[in-house]
Structure 1
Amino acid sequence: MLLPLALLAFGLWQQGRGLDDQQEAEARQAGIAKVVARLEARPVPSRGFDSGAVFRDGGHNYAGPLALIKAREALGQRDTAVTVARARRVLPPVVIGCGAVVGVLSALMLLAAAVLGRLGRRSRDALVRGFSLVRHLLPPVLGAQVVLLAVGFVAAVIFEAAGPVLDGGFSTESAKLLGIAAIAVGASLWTAARAVLQLRGTVKLFAPDPLAIIGRTVSPAEAPGLWRVVDKLAARLGALRPDNVVVGLSGGFFVSSGPKLLQPGDAPLGGRTLYLPLPFLALLPEDEVAAIIGHELAHFSGGDTEYSLRFLPIYAGVGRSLDAVVEAGRVGDGTVSPLMRPALRLGLFVMDQFHHAVRHWSRLREFAADAAGAEVTSAGAAARALLRTSAADPRIGETLAPAFQAPRSAPPDLLAAILAQAAERGLDDPAGHLEAEQPHPTDTHPPTRQRIQALGQQPGPALLAEAMAPPPPGALARLGGYFAEPDRLCHAATEDFLAVARQAARQERDALHSAATEVGTETVTVAENRCPQALLLTGVGVLFALAGLALAAFGLSGLSMGEAWLIGGVAGGIGLLFLAFGLFRLRQGNPPVLVLRPDEVLVVGLQAPVAWRHVLDVAMTGTRNGVETRLLLSAETPFPARLAGGRRVTVDARRRVVTVPMGAPRGMSPQGLADLVGRYRRADAARRVLAEHEQSDEAPP
């Protein structure tokens, strides 16, 4: 709201100034017109000079025929000034209108989002309907904000740029100002056009991305026991039967009605889907599994998945609209242009209203689903299931994470390895996970403690001890009650997981090779471009020296020869100093500052180079004269010392920071320097990771 209000206030100020400027220009025009009429009415003398024809303008006096010529020229300039002044009067209303309309649009959208958010917390249908409307309105509103702010800014800039024309007509200075204004106007209009085009493209992009699942479907023939449990629970809850049951090794229990992709292979899967992780089917007793499946099926009975299916596109559409605004408004330093910030802030406010309403319903939905799961089993089983999944999840991650990172050395049956790890180390103490929110691919959950308390249970020592009990020796045999061929399914699930891991490893290796080859083995020297500064100093010195010589040789009206010699000597001395310093800089050339090598960087002024692996971070800041680079070094790095008599470099051993000031880099922009250093760092890191991979590949399994 602040920027459009400021634009509105600025337009009102310009409107008053515009009226004053027009009245003043018209008064000057009328005054000169009278002078021209008076001069034209004077009789032309038959001979001699008409000393009575006089015209005064700009501190100069013109007499005779020249007076009329100059008066007519001045009248032409005043005619132009009046035309410009009248044209300028049109611009402040444009500025005022743009600021006012943007302010009203922002206020209405903020109010609508707040009201719809409040209504959405009362009814899920109201939430979906209201924010579905917002979803369609937000892109055009954001586009209108950007365009109107750009038009208002352009009108304000043109108003100010045309001001000097009223005083002195078209001059070199006014031409420069108009040129600067043209650049600002062009940049603003280009930014606005980009935003509108990108927002226009997001209107149709409201479909959420498919949910990727590492797993496979199991039919009633492949999982007769599991389907019997699902059918029985769905009948008791009055829930819709899932179209698909998918099992895998990773993640937690969930249901989804949206588009999905089964990996490996990215096979599309639609319809109502229940996902069940095999490790939990083996680690949890049957009543706890039934409580969780009942919880998930309750989402079908309450229409929760359909609600998510309707609501997720709203998230996708609003998120893409905000991405379009950010991308169109990004400037050179990575920040968002001020013209785009009101639209971005408005979009973020709307998203906040989404989040508040969604979290409200998410809590209620999860509590209701927990109650449904307890209804088909018991409150104790539902509470134990919540605790045991939290306690077992670390053991699952300890097995799957290394397998995903090194699929070649992974065991052939990851589920058996998970159970062995859980039996050997036991499960975690669930007391440390009571405040955690269980992960879910699309929804949020309340903290585990609140969910247990909502079931009428307390996470006391007895319940916690029961939940963290290690799995029994025959835990893997539990799968026999669910699946026809559990051993084959476990090996197939392992192969699915490892196939995805191998694909990810190939993609990572390709990305590492690409990064490693961004720079070759050559050394690149970054030098400071001192030539423009040296030429400027030399030129100033020559001008001062010539001025001093001219004063000494020819003097100056109003000065005695002694005074002229004194001032000329001082000017010449100053000129010689500038000239000497400029020539010294030219002789120095462009001194090197950084020497970039594939595995290290040499900072000129330090005694030793620094390996890239020891550089934790690089920060570059633009200064008035150039760039300041700061290197943050790791604690184990032998901290480099300054070279005696070397280039000015600041070293802070306590903070582990090396600061390198420099002028403008030669042959590149500051951003180009940052990109170059970034490429060297990425290439070194990529080569080291590839070397580690090669060593692990050569190691025996």
Structure 2
Amino acid sequence: MTKAREARDGAGTLVTVMEWRRLLPPVAIGGGAVAAGLSLLVLLAGAGLGRLGRGSRDALVRGFALMRRLLPAALAVQILSATAAFVAVVTFEAGMLVQGGLTGDGMKLLAVAAVAVGATLIAAGGAVLGLRRALDAFEPDPLPILGRAISPAEAPGLWRLVEGLAERMGALKPEALVVGLTDGFFVTAGPAVLEPGERPVSGRILHVPLPLLALMRGDEVAAIVAHELAHYAGGDTAYSQRFLPIYAGVGRSLEAVAARRDGALGVLGPSLRLGAFVMERFHLAVRHWSRKREFAADAAGAAVTSTDASARALLRSGAVAPRVAETLAAAAEAPDAAPPDLVAAVLDRAVARGLDDPAAHLQTGQAHPTDTHPPTSERLAALGRAVDPDLLAAAGIAPPPHALGQLAAYFADPAGLCRAASADFLGAVRARDAAVRADLEAAVAEIGTGERVLRANHRPRGLVLVVAGGLFAAIALAIMIFGVPGIPPRQIVVVAGAAFALAVLMGGAGALVLSRGAPVTLVLSPGSLASPGLDRPIAWGEIADLDMTANHAGVVTRVLLPPGASFPGRRPGRHGVRLDAKRRIVTLAVPMPRGMNPQGFADLIAAYRTAAEARRILAEAAASRPAPARADTAGTLPTEASRPVEAQPA
């Protein structure tokens, strides 16, 4: 009767579980269908709107704006549907484990299923919340420009040239002219900030590079300026300003999904690829219009000057750019030794070394701070100008020594303006160097000068073993005193003996662990990393690479040493050290230090490595110059890392 009642109760539970399982297949099918349907709908919409966008820029902006509003919602619904389907499938399969009774293996599988479902729900919820935040309003940051605004009184000739070309083309006139050294010719209609000094400027802005004004002929400068003004005539700058927030909104939607992808067991992968497809369709349409507008702007520049002037301007800008970049890079490397007039220094370098062969730059696109451009060869082909030896020779001829004098046609005080622009550049370099030096000194100060000893934290494990041993001892004692109903005395002795043996084993192991205390695992110093298992420390500067992997016992750190560094030996004892001299890898299995988690341990190692590198850079800078040291960042300029160093036409 007892067994019958147990069977009846078990059958009732099984019937209840199976009734609930009947509800799960429709959820899985429905969730999958919704996810698949949304995928198909977004694919068709992205492809269709992208195709329409190639026919009209207004259609492109409207379609992309619509997609920006709908895509986050579609991705959110798709993620929720796919997650519901995944959870239903996993739960349905887990219900099968109940049929044969919950064994040990069955409990393990249920635990795995619970972890999978929980991780997926957390990742999906985070992605949906991130998509909600991605719909927030976006304000683009002002475009940083290293330069200074010049008034008509300071640049009467340049303002006359620009305004005259604008009138002939029927284009809007710039509201501000900015001259500088680092960037090429470009226009913008959004907010900008002039550096150094963080001076805000807005409206229609035309940036003019002083080095190119000195190194290019007058008709070439006019062709480039007309090209830039054609962007105003075609509404290109306003179009870019409308498109930037849309791009940013869709991009943030995809970032919200990508941030949770790894923890979702593949459920978020389709949504991420779907969004990437939409971005690719619109990117192709944007690139189509960008190329088309560049060709149109080239044609407009040629119409008000000549085809030869526009072709020479494209080729000569590529030939001049390396001399400009070399001069500015040398000044950035040693600003205290730089000449006060970097424009004159560019000219001197161009006269002494000549220009690059223009033919070597035919397949490169012109650099620009915000847009991309077709290769120069395609732009020349669109102009209808063949690349012949005469054109290449005219574009690559070195400027005469007196070329700097042609700046007088543009500016009231060209020498003073060039020195002021050079001072702006060098001031920005010094400010950048000071900021880098401050960061390096902060990294050194963060770890101090003393050693940090890391110790293993074995106490919790020892206490757990001792407590478990005590529990087994109590169980053995209770069995011996009170017995177990239904078990013969002879078997009770066996059970009690087994429990007592476990108590001795676990209690002894716990006592042994506690007796070890907190042994030293690593010693970190400003100059090196030391382990009790190695016969010598490893200097931070000798480490070519380092990676860490967390496991149940702590962190496994693998250190790669370069061929020139001496390889350490192993000390006797069990210290969790493995040496691979052939591959020059030192593996340190380190228990988790007291009071740390894996991320904190990795951050600590990274801080010591960063401080060692910072100390090296500061020492080299101090040895290389008598003046206050700075960080060695040769070859970079004080503009953003993604900004071009050569001044070129758009």
TM-score strictly above 0.5: yes
Residue-by-residue CA offset, 1:388-408 (whole Å, 9 max, x unaligned) = 222222222222234345544
State the match for 1:385 in structure 2.
Answer: 313
Q: How far off is 1:59 after superposition?
A: 8.8
Task: Please give the residue correspondences for 1:601-680 in structure 2 after superposition, counting only pairs within 5 Å.
Answer: 601-623=529-551, 626-643=554-571, 647=575, 649-652=577-580, 655-662=583-590, 667-680=595-608
Match of 1:104 in 2: 37
Q: 2:348 corresponds to which letter in structure 1?
A: A
| 1:228 to partner: Cα distance | 1.7
Q: 2:289 maps to what in 1?
A: 361
Other-structure match for 2:224: 292
Greater shift, 486-495 or 683-692, is seen at 683-692
2:347, 2:401 within 8 Å by CA — same for their partners in 1? no
- Are 1:116 and 2:49 counterparts? yes
Contact 2:138/2:248 (8 A) holds in 1: yes
Shift of residue 504, structure 1, vs aligned partner: 2.6
Per the TM alignment, residue 107 of structure 1 is displaced from its structure 2 partner at its CA by 1.9
Name the CA shift for 1:84/1:678 in 2 (closer, same or farther; >3 Å): same
**Aligned pair partner of 1:200 in 132, 143, 159:** 132
Cα pair 2:521 2:532 within 8 Å, conserved = yes
What's the counterpart of residue 640 of structure 2?
Answer: none
**Where does 1:187-266 land on structure 2 (aligned, <5 Å)?**
187-266=119-198
- Alpha-carbon distance in 1 for matches of 2:453, 2:261: 30
CA, structure 1 residues 97+219, in 2 after alignment: closer, same or farther (shift >3 Å)?
Answer: same
Give the match for residue 146 of structure 1: 79
Match for 1:106: what amino acid? Answer: S
The residue aligned with 1:448 is 376
Q: Determine if contact 2:120/2:264 at 8 Å carries over to the other structure.
A: no
In 2, Cα distance between equivalents of 1:288 and 1:637: 56
Establish whether residue 427 from structure 1 lines up as the match of residue 374 from structure 2: no
Residues 152-171 of structure 1: CA deviation (Å, up to 9, x unaligned): 444445555566567659x9
SS of alignment partner, residue 57 of structure 1? helix
Rounded to whole Å, the distance in 2 between the matches of 1:456 and 1:93 is 64
CA distance in 2, matches of 1:266, 1:140: 39
- Tell me what 2:271 maps to: 343
Q: CA deviation at 1:600?
A: 1.1
d(CA) in 2 for partners of 1:257, 1:517: 44
Q: For residue 324 of structure 2, what is the aligned residue in structure 1?
A: 396
- Which residue identity is paired with 2:218? E
Aligned residues: 625
Give the CA deviation at 1:673.
Answer: 2.3
Any idea what SS the aligned residue of 1:387 has? helix
Q: How many angstroms apart in 2 are the aligned matches of 1:699 and 1:433? A: 39
- Which residue, out of 397, 404, 407, partners 1:469? 397
The corresponding residue for 2:610 is 682
Report if aligned partners of 2:138, 2:245 keep a CA contact under 8 Å in 1.
yes
Seen in structure 2, the aligned counterparts of structure 1 residues 547 and 55 have a Cα distance that, compared at 3 Å, is closer
Structure 2 contact 119–264 (Cα < 8 Å) conserved? no
Partner of 1:508: 436
Partner of 2:280: 352
* In 1, Cα distance between equivalents of 2:404 and 2:211: 9
With over 3 angstroms needed to count, the CA separation of the structure-2 counterparts of 1:340 and 1:480, relative to structure 1, is same
Distance of 2:249 and 2:206 partners within structure 1? 26
Deviations 1:364-414 (A, max 9, x none): 222222222222223222222222222222222222234345544433222
Displacement, 1:275? 1.1
Q: Is the 8 A contact 1:264 1:499 kept in 2?
A: yes
Quote the Cα distance in structure 2 between the aligned partners of 1:337 and 1:522.
Answer: 44
The alpha-carbon distance between structure 1 residues 558 and 144, as it changes in their structure 2 partners (threshold 3 A), is closer
Q: Does 1:57 align with 2:4?
A: yes
The match for 1:479 is 407
Counterparts in 2 of 1:191 and 1:216: CA distance versus 1, 3 Å:
same
Quick one: distance in 2 between partners of 1:191 and 1:218?
A: 53
Distance of aligned partners of 1:363 and 1:146 in 2 relative to their CA distance in 1, 3 Å threshold:
same
Alpha-carbon shift at residue 445 of structure 1 (Å): 0.9
Q: Judging changes above 3 Å, is the alpha-carbon distance between structure 1 residues 204 and 579 closer, same or farther for their aligned structure 2 residues? A: closer
User: Could you tell which deviates more after superposition, 509-518 or 131-140?
Assistant: 509-518
Distance in 1 (alpha carbons) for counterparts of 2:243 and 2:151: 30
Q: Secondary structure at the match of 1:215?
A: strand
Deviation of 1:250 (Å): 0.8
Q: How far apart are residue 591 of structure 1 and its match?
A: 5.2
- Bigger Rg over Cα: 1
Unaligned runs of 5+ in 1: 1-53, 61-73, 549-553
Tell me, in whole angstroms, the C-alpha distance in 2 between the residues paired with 1:294 and 1:578. Answer: 86
Q: Secondary structure at the match of 1:274?
A: strand
Distance 2:198 2:627 in 1: 32
| Residue 351 of structure 1, CA deviation | 1.7
> How many angstroms apart in 2 are the aligned matches of 1:219 and 1:255?
17
Most deviating of 118-127 and 153-162? 153-162
User: For the structure 1 residues 676 and 289, does the alpha-carbon distance in structure 2 shift closer, same or farther, using more than 3 Å as the test?
Assistant: same
Amino acid at match of 2:26: P
- The 1-side partners of 2:229 and 2:462 are apart by 77
**Cα deviation 1:315-367 (Å, max 9, x = unaligned):** 1111122222233x166xxx776343333222222222222222222222222
* CA distance in structure 1 between the partners assigned to 2:560 and 2:358 by the alignment: 39
Change (3 A) 1:463 1:635: farther
Q: Is structure 2 residue 227 aligned with structure 1 residue 280? A: no
Q: Deviations over 1:520-579 (max 9, x none)?
A: 33323445566788889999999999999xxxxx9xx999x9xxx999999999999999
Contact 2:83 2:121 in 1 (8 A): yes
Cα distance in 2 between the residues matched to 1:510 and 1:150? 48
- Map of 1:10 onto structure 2: none
Other structure's SS at 1:521 match? coil
Calculate the aligned-residue CA RMSD, in Å: 4.3
Distance 1:380 1:435 in 2: 19
Give the 3-state SS of the residue equivalent to 1:629 in structure 2: strand
Q: Note closer, same or farther for the CA distance 1:653–1:165 as it changes in structure 2 (3 Å cut).
A: closer
- Cα deviation per residue 1:45-93 (whole Å; 9 max; x = unaligned)? xxxxxxxxx4643899xxxxxxxxxxxxx44x65555444433433332
Q: 1:197 deviation in Å?
A: 3.0
Letter in 1 for 2:290: S
CA distance in 2, matches of 1:690, 1:650: 34
Percent identity over paired residues: 53
Distance 1:692 1:576, change over 3 A: same
- For structure 2, the 5+ residue unaligned runs are 477-482, 630-650
TM-score (norm 2): 0.82
Correspondence list, 1:477-556, <5 A: 477-527=405-455
Report the secondary structure of 2:586's partner residue. strand
Deviations 1:67-123 (A, max 9, x none): xxxxxxx44x65555444433433332333222212211221122112222222333
Match status 1:412 vs 2:345: no
Q: Is the 8 A contact 1:135 1:314 kept in 2?
A: yes
Alpha carbons of 1:634 and 1:58: their partners in 2 closer, same or farther (altered >3 Å)? farther
Counterpart of 1:213, as a letter, is I
Residue of structure 2 in register with 1:372 after alignment: 300
Contact 2:120 2:265 in 1 (8 A): no
CA contact under 8 A between 2:553 and 2:592: conserved in structure 1?
yes
